[in-house]
Amino acid sequence: MAKVQALRLASVRSALRSGEAERLRVAAQLSISEVAQACGVDQSTVWRWERGVRKPRGDAALAYGELLESLRQQSSSPDERETA
């Protein structure tokens, strides 16, 4: 596994352990099913990740990490509706 992938995987697992991943999903008004579809996994898989039953692995975990990073950026940028 490449160093960058290992770092992304560690970040995903940290976000799950801390509850940040679920907070980001809920704040973005995304369902578990929608996240699962975006990552190419079953919704029960995302549920297990968020509950700490399973650790995300492989390409699906990396896709989840990319989604989380996008949600982080979205949540940290000012809302355009408030600045208009």
Average pLDDT across each block of 10 residues of the chain; the chain has 84 residues. List them in order. Answer: 90 96 97 97 97 95 96 79 48
Q: What is the pLDDT, as a whole number, of residue 53?
A: 96
Domains, in order of start, for the chain: 3-66 (1.10.260.40)
Nearest-angstrom CA–CA distance, 24 and 5: 21
Q: What is the pLDDT, as a whole number, of residue 75?
A: 85
Q: What is the pLDDT, as a whole number, of residue 82?
A: 52
Q: Using alpha carbons, list the distances in angstroms from residue 70 to 1, 51, 54, 74, 81.
A: 23, 21, 23, 6, 19
Q: What is the pLDDT, as a whole number, of residue 84?
A: 45
Nearest-angstrom CA–CA distance, 7 and 45: 21
pTM (2 decimals)?
A: 0.84
